[in-house]
Amino acid sequence: MQEPKIKFNNVTKIFKTNRQTITAVKDVSFNIDEGDFVSLIGPSGCGKSTVIRLLDDIIKPTQGDIYIDGEAIPKRKKISPEQIKKMGFIFQQPNLLPWMTVRQNVSLPLKVFGLKGKKWDDNVDRLIEMVGMTEYENAYPTEISGGMVQRVGVIRAMVHDPEILLMDEPFGALDEMTREQLNIELLDIWRKTKKTIIFITHNVEEAILLSSKSYVMGTNPGRIVAEVDIDLPRPRTLDMIITKKFIEYEEELTNLIGEIDLSKIK
């Protein structure tokens, strides 16, 4: 039986300060198979971003184990270069370097990982073309739109050919029309590249449109309270949003999140 691409096994993260102890996430367990598109959804403060930071080794778990391809992330030393290279990170603010062109920004991870040669130059070309940015490759971030900037952030995370993409509300700051357009483009990129994706969002509609499975998280402490398989045909389209099945999923996830919030009212 094939190992899951990503495995969390009873992972807990506790932050301690002089004044208080905060359990950010408690007993989080899930498996994500290779090539799957999974969303984490829930209210603010439920630990969604903590899960991502535990996986990319920015922070260490207090308890529990995390595996990538069956290999445990070390608890007392840094993650191996081989494991970190398997991941690409896309956050809400792409933080492009303003003095670099689009092409230079996309190429930056190649310098970090020491990847040189025609293969990698061609990969930059391919990714820029994939998101329709070829004519803007020599433009600077201030010369392109917010949607274009976010596209650059997405392909920059992919330029070293990672196997896993970690996306922390990447389109949350964009207007609804641009967000919907980028969601469809992301699905096309996922279909073409077969990456394993963990996508964090507050947006229920976005989670349903994109993912094959959604983990719903609750607060105090952050924990997974439900696992919902999204059984909709692919390729997904915006037309699906008004279908009966889509609306049923939307009601189910909204009710789960609503129950979480209500249970915390004193």
Report DSSP letters for 217-251, one per residue: EETTTBEEEEEEE----SS--GGGGGSHHHHHHHH
For the record, the structure tokens of 18 come out as 């002089």
Q: What is the pLDDT of residue 85?
A: 93
Q: What is the pLDDT of residue 72?
A: 94
Q: What is the pLDDT of residue 258?
A: 76
| Domain parsing of the chain, residue ranges | 1-80+165-170+199-266
Answer yes or no: is pLDDT of 261 > 70: no
Answer yes or no: is pLDDT of 207 > 90: yes
What is the band of 259 on the pLDDT scale with cuts at 50, 70, 90? low
Which range among 18-27, 222-231, 239-248 shows the weakest confidence by mean pLDDT? Answer: 18-27
* Dist. CA 73–CA 86, nearest whole Å: 12
What's the mean pLDDT in 218-246? Answer: 94
What is the band of 262 on the pLDDT scale with cuts at 50, 70, 90? very low
* Dist. CA 237–CA 144, nearest whole Å: 26
Q: What is the pLDDT of residue 265?
A: 33
pLDDT of 143-197, one tens digit each?
999 999 999 999 999 999 999 999 999 888 788 888 899 999 999 999 999 999 9
Smallest CA-to-CA distance from 105 within 63, 67, 152 is with 152
Q: What is the pLDDT of residue 174?
A: 84
Number of helices and strands in the chain (H, E): 8, 10
pLDDT of 5-61, one tens digit each?
999 999 999 998 888 888 999 999 999 999 999 999 998 888 999 999 999 999 999
* Dist. CA 109–CA 10, nearest whole Å: 32
Check if CATH label 3.40.50.300 holds for domain 1-80+165-170+199-266: yes
Answer yes or no: is pLDDT of 253 > 90: yes
* Dist. CA 228–CA 180, nearest whole Å: 22
pLDDT of 78-116, one tens digit each?
888 899 999 999 988 888 999 999 999 999 999 999 999
* Dist. CA 109–CA 90, nearest whole Å: 13
Helix, strand, or coil (residue 123): helix
* Angle between helix 146-158 and helix 176-193 axes, rounded to 10 deg: 20
Nearest 5 degrees, angle CA 184-CA 190-CA 194?
165
For the record, the structure tokens of 62 come out as 């207090």
Helix ranges (DSSP H) in the chain = 48-55, 81-85, 102-112, 118-130, 146-158, 176-193, 204-210, 244-263
